[in-house]
Structures are given as structure tokens and as C-alpha cells.
A and B are shown apart, each in its own frame.
Chain A
Amino acid sequence: MDERAIGKARPPKVLVTKIGFDGHDRGSRIVATFLRDAGMEVVYTGPWQTISGVCNIALQEDVDVIGVSSLAGDHLILPKLMDALRAAGLDHIKVVVGGIVPDTETELLTSAGIARIYHPGATRDEIVDGVAALAAATRRSAAPLEAQP
């Protein structure tokens, strides 16, 4: 199956967001454009989202992947995001991080469940293919349609 076009009925849906206070969004705008050009639907929130806000957005928009753009240490809060997604029953959604993450802090993120870290220099294909594959994985692992208890 060509994972880039899961089916015209329902293209991959990706949330591109920033948590915390950094406002540099050159990278996240470019990534959103790459994903759109690859046929995905991108919910773009802009900066200053909160953890609970991101959980709500992911739930309401029924996204396949959450992409967090991070600079300036905002990634340090991501383990808390993973906890919140788990508590909300949303941990089947794959989460990736793009931006500045020092090597000494990648373990903190991967052990918290972040699926992939994209450092500066990642190419368009790396990002698009990676996100498409993760979206497909989310769909495969999503719970069948059912109400919450």
C-alpha cells in the first residue's frame, strides 16, 4: 500500500503544533507545507498551546500523528504530554518532535514514548515518509469505533 495516499476518502491527518513559549515557526510552517504537498491534512495550531489543549485538539480532530515543533528547551515538557495522552486514552496516536533537541536529552524523549525526533537537516522525504508510516501505524492500532466507557 502506498502509505502516502492511504485513500482519498481519508488522507492522513496530522497535528502540527508548538507547546510552551517559543515562537519560532519557520520550521513548522515548512513541515506543514511538505505534508500538505504530500497529500496530508494538517491541523496547524500555531504556538503557545498547552498540554491539555493539545490532547483536546488531537482528540477532537481525530488525528493520526502529532508533530511538535520545539526550540529553546520546550521539549523538556514533552514527557508530560505523553503522560497526558496516555491518561486520555490517546496513546495510540504517534508523536514526533522536530527542532532543537540536544543529544543528551533525546533519551528523555524516546523513553517517554516519542516515536521519532527530527533534527535540523532532516530532508523533506525523511519527514514525509516518516510521518506517513507513523500515520498508517496509528490507523492500524486505533481502537475500533466504540464509545468510551
Chain B
Amino acid sequence: MSAADARTGAGERSQDGPGPDRVGAKTGAASGLVRGLLRGEPRALARAITAVESDSEEAAGILAAIQPHLGNARIVGITGPPGAGKSTLTDAIITELRRRGKQVVVLAVDPSSPFTGGAILGDRIRMLGHADDEGVFVRSVASRGHLGGLFRNVAGVLQVMDASGPDVIIVETVGAGQSEVEITRFAETKVVVCAPGLGDDVQTMKAGILEIADILVVNKGDQPHAEDTVRQLRGMLHLRDPRLGSAVVVSTTATTGRGVPELVDVLEEPRLEGGAGG
């Protein structure tokens, strides 16, 4: 689609075939929004996410307009079972990225209730310190019945976020259901966080998790068995299908920040070639 088409919304009209004035008004408003978005203004980013997340009338126009501006942000997926300290680790990663002067956007996904359609979006509980930081933008999204585990318009939302110009986009999901596998479609770097555990806990970790991970983090490094778990996982990764590419095991203690700079070093490495989920 040409830039001119994007401006006029050609090819993306509503079924009613709006008259020229309405098209102009919608496009004008939407393009004002897009300008703000491309400048990285938080308000525009928030409104653009709302539009795309909920399939509003402006969504298609916004997406069309931002296509030439994509590809700068590194997209990192963070997932893992409950109890691994994933949220605390995400918080620590954000802190370290900020220390390195990076602009960060976070997409936190939580499941909607299949019965009521509502959702508790609780990932911000662990991000207390970042609410006042201009360099961090966090958006919580509910799955809204999407069977894949993420949500319907995740591709579009990630594009909108990318267009606002951050260095890193972190997608944080609960490690249950299908979400950790679906994240492979969108994230270049997949981080799986687990807690130390010998024997059963590690053995029964879903095969899918091991296959998708680019980085396996053993958090709560202060606990006994942490080093053993790291060794065990390294061993298991060796048995992984070589076509999945190589993966790294890192040990952290998110509460004190130990190991987090090293983890972020790995995150910032030049993009992994032929990584899992391709």
C-alpha cells in the first residue's frame, strides 16, 4: 500500500462507503493521532492501542499509516509458570534497561474470564517503581476470549508500540495455556522464567516451554538447588532439536538484581539467527 493510500485510507473503507467529508474527518483525526504516535507521545500511543486492540473504525487507517515506521524495537517475550518470580524479574529487567538509557514499552497480557468476559489485569502490581518513569510505557491487555492465549489483535498492537519508537518491547504473559507458544509468532527473543526445583518440577516442565525458549532464566537464585537446576536445564537443552537453534540458561535473583545485568546483556545481543519459532 502506498503512503498516499495510507493517508486517504483507500482500500480500507467501512462497508457503508463513507462520503468524502467523513473520510476526510476520520483520516484527519487518525492522522493527527498517527503523528503523535510517531513522535512517541504517550497519550497518542495509548489511544492508538485502544483503537487497534478493539478493532475500532480508525484501526485500519492507523495500521496502514505506520507500516513504513516499523522494525526498530526488539520484541522480547517473557513467560513462565506462576511462582517463578516472573513479574519481579520483568520489573528488574526494565530497571536495568532504563539504567542503560533504553526506552521501554511493556505489553502485559492476562486472561479474560470465560464466563463474564471481565479480567483482572494485575501485572502492574509488580511495576510500582516505573509508573513515574517517562521512559517506560506499560499497557495491560485482556485476552477477550481469544483461544490462542494472547489476544486477537496482538500483531497490530505490537506494531503500534513499535511505531512509537522504543528500543525494547516486552510482552509479558502468564505461562499457562497456549500463550507461551503463541508468543513465538511475535517475539524475536523468548525468555522463559522458572524457579529452582529438582526432579519433578523441572522434569515435568512442559516440553513446549523448552522448545520455544531462547533464554531460560532460573530465578530465585538465592534458594538452594538453584545451581543444580541451571545445570539440569543446560543438560536438557542439549537434547533439544538442533533446528531450534541455541539457547542460554541464566541464573538471577530478581529481588536483589543479581544476574540481571548479565541477562540484559544477552537480551541486547545482535538478534538470534534462525531462532525457535522462526
Q: Which residues of A contact B (CB under 8 A)?
A: 5, 8-11, 32-33, 35-46, 48-50, 52-54, 56-57, 59-62, 89, 144-148
Q: Which residues of B contact A (CB under 8 A)?
A: 29-30, 32-37, 39, 41-47, 49-51, 53-56, 58, 112-113, 116-122, 124-125, 128, 131-132, 137-140, 142, 144-145
Q: How far is the CA of A39 from the CA of B112 in the complex (A)?
A: 9
If the complex has contacts A46-B125, A57-B131, are A32 and B120 also in contact, measured as CB distance less than 8 A?
yes
Picked from A41, A48, A59, the residue with its CB within 8 Å of the CB of B128 is A48
B residues in contact with A11, CB < 8 Å: 117-118, 142, 144
B residues in contact with A45, CB < 8 Å: 124-125, 128, 131
Q: How far is the CA of A148 from the CA of B45 in the complex (A)?
A: 11
Q: What are 10 contact pairs spanning A and B, CB under 8 A?
A: A11-B144, A36-B118, A37-B113, A49-B128, A52-B131, A60-B46, A61-B139, A62-B46, A146-B29, A148-B43
B residues in contact with A54, CB < 8 Å: 131
Q: Which 10 A/B pairs are nearest by Cβ-Cβ distance?
A: A147-B36, A53-B131, A36-B118, A10-B54, A46-B125, A147-B32, A39-B117, A62-B46, A9-B54, A39-B118
Q: How far is the CA of A41 from the CA of B151 in the complex (A)?
A: 14
B116 touches A37 (CB 8 A): yes
Interface centre among A5, A45, A46 (most CB of B within 10 A): A45
Q: How far is the CA of A35 from the CA of B41 in the complex (A)?
A: 30
A residues in contact with B30, CB < 8 Å: 145
Q: How far is the CA of A145 from the CA of B50 in the complex (A)?
A: 10
B118 touches A43 (CB 8 A): no
B118 touches A148 (CB 8 A): no
A residues in contact with B51, CB < 8 Å: 145
A residues in contact with B140, CB < 8 Å: 41, 43, 61
Interface centre among A33, A35, A61 (most CB of B within 10 A): A61
B139 touches A9 (CB 8 A): no
Picked from B35, B44, B58, B142, the residue with its CB within 8 Å of the CB of A41 is B142
Q: Which chain B residue has the least Cβ–Cβ distance from A43? A: B121
A145 touches B33 (CB 8 A): yes
A44 touches B50 (CB 8 A): no
A60 touches B29 (CB 8 A): no
B118 touches A9 (CB 8 A): no
B121 touches A41 (CB 8 A): yes
If the complex has contacts A147-B35, A148-B43, A148-B44, are A56 and B116 also in contact, measured as CB distance less than 8 A?
no
